[in-house]
Structure 1
Amino acid sequence: MEDEAGPYQAIPHPGTSWQPQGEPTRLPHEYVRGGTAKLLTLFHPSSGQVRVRGVTCCTNAVLHPWMQQTLTEVLEQLPVATVLPPAHNRSVWERWQAGLSVRFTLLEHLPPLRLLLVLDNLTGHKTPELVCWLMRQGIMPLSTPVAGSWLNMAESIQRILVRRALAGHCPNSAQQVIEWLEASARGWNRAPTPFVWGGKRQARRQRARARRHPLAGSGAYTLQVLQ
């Protein structure tokens, strides 16, 4: 999963901390804006590993080379792909386009599918050059629905990293923001936590629904069975 977060300003950032009673943390009321930074993020939910790069701008000229370099490093660590008959191989690719209202044209000659890449539904992620490069590497790009970027779990890990790096601190420059964000990612990768879709929250909802008794024909329910 890939996403770009920010901008984050080099200004005092409020945050929680342990302080003696009656002596709260104080942030400067006067400061000079030291620029902004963004965080390019590639996240692997099942392992929890995250790859990031802090930047001061996020144009295609910056984003695409970073994606290509980082994804190449990821592919080098994967097992050798199994070569399938051409018709079977194309059906594997086409299966991930089933049900989509908008589909990009698959290349005539496709390599074995090796990786699924979830991206936000942004124009910069859909340039022909980038999409064709991804397909040639065996990577299937999948976009989240419009107004559904929250389905990209890269945003979840970004919120964690940003909170750890900036909350309660006062960076002086964009470069310092970048250094703290990247250091936060290195710390996370020392003991990464895998992400599971739904997780405990989904389990709680399922248990809550199991305790309810829906009433036919409406969205109402009761907490006891009605005869």
Structure 2
Amino acid sequence: MPSPKLPPLVLSDEERETLLRWSRRPTTAQALALRSRIVLRCADGGSNSEVADEFGVKRHTVAKWRSRFVADGLEGLSDEPRAGAPRTVTDERVEAVIVKTLEQSPPDQDTHWSTRSMAAATGMSQSTVSRIWRAFGLKPHQVQTWKLSRDPQFVEKVRDVVGLYLAPPDNAIVLCVDEKSQMQAIDRTAPTLPIMPTTPARMTHDYVRHGTTSLFAALNLATGSVIAQHHRRHRHQEFLKFLKTIDAATPGDLELHLVCDNYATHKTPAIKNWLLQHPRFHVHFTPTSASWLNLVERWFAELTNRKLRRSAHRSVTELEADVEAWIGAWNDDPKPFVWTKTADQILDTLAAYCQRINDSGH
């Protein structure tokens, strides 16, 4: 059957301006922003099916908000009242909290807003401020750190390393190589208390150090297995011994592509001479300050979270034996890490960060 005739949808200049503001402002609720975009597109002549396909929603969703706007105007885009006690905090007061959180500096030279300072500034309770922040995913108490690489060959190195991950060469093994240096043998000053119902495991805050060791590791990109070796020192001599270990542990008829960082011990004359004598080794360096490109760092995170963070050792020898046992169990059932981002996606993301930095005015 033919679709019923769509009700005419004509916007006044004021309504169009309001809808555009709702659809573009970062602090607008996502549901309201989507409804505004739907109405704007319908007003431009889009059918329900066309608008539904464009915004990835159901056809009846477009029909609902089209008819609601035709009947009630801008007020029709708000959610209908629900059962329960009436709201005591208006949309305007909620918006004021969001705008103040995102656009204004906190008082008393604080670095960030707290529920207490926001409550004092807006006349609301701390619990109300907390609920608003949770609803909009705002976490002023948290901060994420990042660092931009200044490597003049950054783009070329990203394409080189990511190309290895996404399209490994034939008859070759790709190994992600790095060192986890200064692993400490730490013993707690009292025994760890086990987990109990309603109570997490408990351990003393203070500890005793019993020395350090460094773990050299090479993660096989295809299988997830790891070649590892402990050394008490972290020099080019130890790295050379590890290269010889890799040489002995891999089939001699395969090419070896090693992803490494720019640590000085990887580039000494002795290392370069050894690599020249072993032409099956091909070293690919990540950009400076871009260790996240080396997949072995992801494996080091597994080692830290699953073994090192909560363990206690009374000597370096005990630490090394414990880590070697954990690596042996890992290699019995290895889990490869799959790289998914292309070089272009990575570079586009970093370009967007750089643009935000430039636009910030700092």
> Which TM bucket (shorter chain)?
0.5 to 0.7
Say which of 211, 223, 236 aligns to 1:35.
211
Q: Which residue of 2 aligns with 1:212?
A: none
Say which of 281, 300, 306 aligns to 1:164.
306
Say which of 185, 189, 192 aligns to 1:10.
185
Q: Unmatched 5+ residue regions in structure 2? A: 1-175, 346-354, 357-362
What value does the CA root-mean-square deviation take over the aligned residues?
Answer: 2.6
| Structure 2 Cα separation of the partners of residues 60 and 37 of structure 1 | 15
Q: Unmatched 5+ residue regions in structure 1? A: 80-113, 207-217, 220-227
Q: Which residue of 1 aligns with 2:244?
A: 68
Could you tell me the percent identity over the aligned residues? 29
Moved over 3 A (4+): 28-31
| Structure 2 Cα separation of the partners of residues 180 and 63 of structure 1 | 22
- Structure with the higher fraction of residues in helix conformation: 2
Offset at residue 118 of structure 1 (A): 0.8
| Structure 2 Cα separation of the partners of residues 49 and 187 of structure 1 | 10
Cα separation, partners in 2 of 1:33 and 1:45, compared to 1, 3 Å: same
Cα separation, partners in 2 of 1:139 and 1:30, compared to 1, 3 Å: closer
Offset at residue 18 of structure 1 (A): 7.8
The structure that has the greater radius of gyration is 2
Q: Which residue of 2 aligns with 1:51?
A: 227
1:149 maps to 2:149:
no
Offset at residue 44 of structure 1 (A): 0.8
| Structure 2 Cα separation of the partners of residues 65 and 71 of structure 1 | 10
Q: Contact 2:187 / 2:209 at 8 angstroms: preserved in 1? A: no
Q: Which residue of 2 aligns with 1:121?
A: 262
Cα separation, partners in 2 of 1:31 and 1:148, compared to 1, 3 Å: closer
**Aligned AA (1:145):** P
Cα separation, partners in 2 of 1:163 and 1:129, compared to 1, 3 Å: same
After TM superposition, the structure 1 stretch with the greater mean CA deviation from structure 2, 57-66 or 144-153, is 57-66
| Structure 1 Cα separation of the partners of residues 228 and 216 of structure 2 | 5
**Aligned AA (2:302):** I
Q: Please state whether the residue corresponding to 1:193 is helix, strand or coil.
A: coil
Q: Contact 1:38 / 1:56 at 8 angstroms: preserved in 2? A: yes
Larger RCO: 1 or 2 (CA < 8 Å, sep 6+): 1
**Aligned AA (1:116):** H
Q: Please state whether the residue corresponding to 2:214 is helix, strand or coil.
A: strand
Offset at residue 30 of structure 1 (A): 4.8
Q: Which residue of 1 aligns with 2:158?
A: none
Offset at residue 155 of structure 1 (A): 1.1
| Structure 1 Cα separation of the partners of residues 230 and 267 of structure 2 | 22
| Structure 2 Cα separation of the partners of residues 33 and 189 of structure 1 | 29
| Structure 2 Cα separation of the partners of residues 30 and 6 of structure 1 | 22
Q: Contact 1:54 / 1:181 at 8 angstroms: preserved in 2? A: no
Deviations 1:178-205 (A, max 9, x none): 111111111100011122112xxx59xx
Q: Which residue of 2 aligns with 1:132?
A: 273
Q: Contact 2:187 / 2:313 at 8 angstroms: preserved in 1? A: yes
Offset at residue 66 of structure 1 (A): 2.1
Q: Contact 2:187 / 2:208 at 8 angstroms: preserved in 1? A: no
- Equivalenced residue count is 165
Deviations 1:108-136 (A, max 9, x none): xxxxxx22111111121112321232243
Q: Please state whether the residue corresponding to 1:35 is helix, strand or coil.
A: strand
